[in-house]
Amino acid sequence: MPTEAAGPRVRRARPDDEAALYRICLVTGDSGRDASGLYRDPDLLGHLYVGPYAALEPEHAFVLADGPEDADQGGAETSVGVFGYAVGALDTAAFHVRVRDSWLPPLQARYSDPGGDPGAWSRDDRLIHLLHHPDEVYPSRLAPALAPYPSHLHIDLLPRGQGRGLGRRLLEALLASLRADGSPGVHLGVGSGNRRAVGFYEHLGFARLTESHSGRALWMGKRLG
């Protein structure tokens, strides 16, 4: 007799979750708001910000999902009920090398670098440019302030997963996996003006570390050791 769902749960991401992960990345891609009307190609944000994590470090990729508890053991659950994810990289520098060497080349072959005047680029063109010039997304070295926090993470939730303690459960699952694999600390980036997000991370023990040169992004970190 199939197990009844007991409500939202955290589980590891699976290959068949890819479409759901990309969808969540898109509909939260405008500083937490729906970005689906901003891009012609709905996959570009996912290619940059969630796809490589699920593909290259699936052991550190978790989702919030509706479904039976036995789904991971061969149950009939699908990704339709996925409404949040947390993905991470154990060693940021090594992960960035893997992204550049194995994840980006097929995408660079698929999408032509827009070139020309950046002032004439569309939103899609700006993301495609990053696929070919990934320093902004995947820098070759960490800022000194981030060195004690070599792991990093991204988390996104659809509105129905917010304000219910589910984000904390999801994040704690990811932090536990990073800690178990020996990470001494983890960092993340958040918009400096996103007070709600900053407060959420501070409540979970993250400290402010440094800001971007523009002042629009804040880096926060948490010790895991």
pLDDT tens digits for 135-191? 989 998 888 999 999 999 999 999 887 778 899 999 999 999 999 999 999 999 998
pLDDT (0 to 100) of residue 80: 57
In the chain, the N- to C-terminal Cα span, in Å, equals: 43
Q: How many domains does the chain have?
A: 1
pLDDT, residue 14, reads: 95
User: 31: closest CA among 215, 189, 222?
Assistant: 189
Q: What is the CATH number of the domain that holds 148?
A: 3.40.630.30
Looking at the domain assignment, is residue 158 inside a domain?
Answer: yes
> pLDDT above 90 covers what percent of the chain?
73
12-38 mean pLDDT: 94
Q: Residue 74's pLDDT is what?
A: 38
- Whether 3 maps to a domain, the answer reads no
CB 9 within 8 A of CB 65: yes
Q: What's the pLDDT score for residue 192? A: 83
Domain assignment present for 155: yes
Exposure b/e, 153-184, CB count within 10 A at least 16 = b = bbbbbbeebbeeebbebbbebbbebbbeeebe
Q: Is residue 142 part of a domain?
A: yes
Instruction: Say if residue 105's pLDDT is above 70.
Output: yes
pLDDT of 65 reads: 93
Residues 6+ apart with CB under 8 A from 53: 60, 61, 87, 88, 89, 154
Q: Between the ranges 8-12, 22-26, 212-216, where is the mean pLDDT highest?
A: 22-26
Q: Write down the pTM of the prediction.
A: 0.88
Q: Indicate whether 122 belongs to any domain.
A: yes
- Residue 152 lies inside a defined structural domain of this protein: yes
User: Is 4's pLDDT higher than 50?
Assistant: no
Residue 58 in domain: yes
Where does the pLDDT of residue 196 fall: very low under 50, low under 70, confident under 90, or very high at 90 and above? confident
Average pLDDT over residues 108-117: 96
pLDDT at 68: 55
Q: Collect all residues with Cβ–Cβ distance below 8 Å to 52 and sequence separation of at least 6.
A: 95, 98, 99, 103
Query: Considering only CA atoms, which of 197, 220, 199, 215 is closest in space to residue 149?
Result: 220
pLDDT tens, 36-72? Answer: 999 999 999 999 999 999 999 999 999 999 865 434 4
Between residues 5 and 43, the one the model is more confident about: 43
Task: Please give the pLDDT value at position 6.
Answer: 59
Asked if the structure places residue 216 within a domain, the reply is yes
| pLDDT mean over 2-9 | 62
Residue 66: which domain range?
9-223
